């Protein structure tokens, strides 16, 4: 546990000691604000709700989360420091969890910094703060799921760009499974039960339940087990690939 903390601290410091962190946070804030105000036309809607803000998260995370996570293992393998890391008295689980949690915390910090949105909507009207809270939780869990996918693909390639592209594609697939057009498409040739089962695996459907103000335990369990599954796969891939 102490070693998990050591790894986590090292990674998190790594983010803030490079300009990339600040660039990322600024892009994240600008993008969320831009989408909310200019594309969703937040002010014109005249509704005291942050829906137009959260609705963009699955799409923004699609690029931003892989950008945060791509280097986690690629860099470690490329520079050979993985040999250092795994000959220190650290377990595989500590290392994987430490890195994951560091990147997740970093995204969490970026998410917290969107609080002016809450202030704005609170100033303009009287929103349902319960929904806002569950939406934030849902958004954070969604980011965690994206990040776990990214960790997995980061372990697969020494090349950060390849890790990034593969992660984006994989996350996109996980989202699309539950998006209307895609389920409609599946319904075209699959029995509804099967296409529903497929979309039940989507990030998107589970994210949406949080946006309705539900603290759906099934959705929480879904995201947590998705993260657990991806990180387990991450461990297996690392074990296989670390020699290279």
Q: Whose Cβ is closer to another protein: residue 37's or residue 86's?
A: 86
Q: 15: which residues sit within 8 A by CB, 6+ positions away?
A: 21, 68, 102, 103, 106
Q: Tell which residue, 35, 49, 43, 45, has the closest CA to residue 213.
A: 49
For 72, the token pair is 């986690």
How far is residue 150 CA from its own chain's centroid?
8
CB of 244 to another protein, least distance (A): 9
- Which partner in another protein, ligand ADP, none is near 2 (CB below 5 to 8 A by kind)? another protein
Question: In this complex, which beta carbon is closest to another protein, that of residue 95 or of residue 145?
Answer: 95
Minimum CB distance to another protein, residue 243 (Å): 5
10 binds, among another protein, ligand ADP, none (CB under 5 to 8 A by kind): another protein
225-244 binders of ligand ADP (CB under 6 A): 243-244
Q: Are 5 and 98 in contact (CB under 8 A)?
A: yes
Measured at the CA of 168, the angle between CA 27 and CA 162, to 5 degrees, comes to 100
In whole angstroms, the minimum distance from the beta carbon of 115 to ligand ADP comes to: 48
Q: In the bound complex, what is the minimum distance in angstroms from residue 212's beta carbon to another protein? A: 42
CA distances 229 to 29, 30, 87, 234, Å, are 30, 32, 25, 9
| Residues forming the site for another protein (CB under 8 A) | 2-3, 6-7, 10, 13-14, 17-18, 79-81, 83-84, 86-91, 242-243
CB of 26 to another protein, least distance (A): 20
Q: CB nearer to ligand ADP: give 181 or 243.
A: 243
* DSSP classification of residue 218: H
Q: Where along the sequence are the contacts to ligand ADP (CB under 6 A)?
A: 243-244
């Amino acid at each position: 546990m102490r070693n998990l903390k050591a790894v986590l601290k090292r990674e998190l410091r790594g983010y803030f000691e490079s300009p990339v962190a600040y660039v990322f946070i600024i892009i994240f804030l600008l993008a969320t604000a831009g989408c909310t105000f200019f594309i969703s036309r937040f002010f014109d809607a005249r509704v005291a709700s942050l829906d137009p803000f959260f609705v963009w998260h699955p799409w923004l995370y699609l690029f931003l989360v892989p950008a945060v996570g791509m280097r986690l293992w690629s860099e470690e393998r490329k520079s050979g420091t993985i040999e250092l890391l795994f000959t220190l008295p650290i377990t595989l689980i500590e290392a994987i969890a430490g890195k994951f949690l560091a990147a997740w915390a970093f995204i969490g910090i970026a998410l917290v910094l969107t609080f002016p949105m809450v202030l704005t909507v609170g100033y303009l009207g009287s929103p349902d703060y319960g929904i806002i809270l569950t939406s934030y939780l849902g958004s954070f869990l969604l980011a965690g799921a994206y990040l776990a996918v990214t960790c997995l693909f980061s372990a697969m390639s020494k090349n950060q760009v390849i890790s990034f592209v593969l992660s984006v594609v994989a996350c996109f697939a996980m989202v699309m499974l539950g998006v209307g057009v895609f389920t409609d498409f599946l319904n075209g040739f699959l029995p509804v039960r099967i296409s529903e089962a497929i979309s039940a695996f989507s990030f998107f459907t589970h994210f949406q339940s949080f946006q309705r103000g539900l603290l759906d335990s099934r959705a929480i369990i879904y995201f947590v087990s998705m993260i657990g599954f991806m990180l387990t796969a991450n461990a297996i891939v690392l074990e296989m690939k670390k020699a290279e």
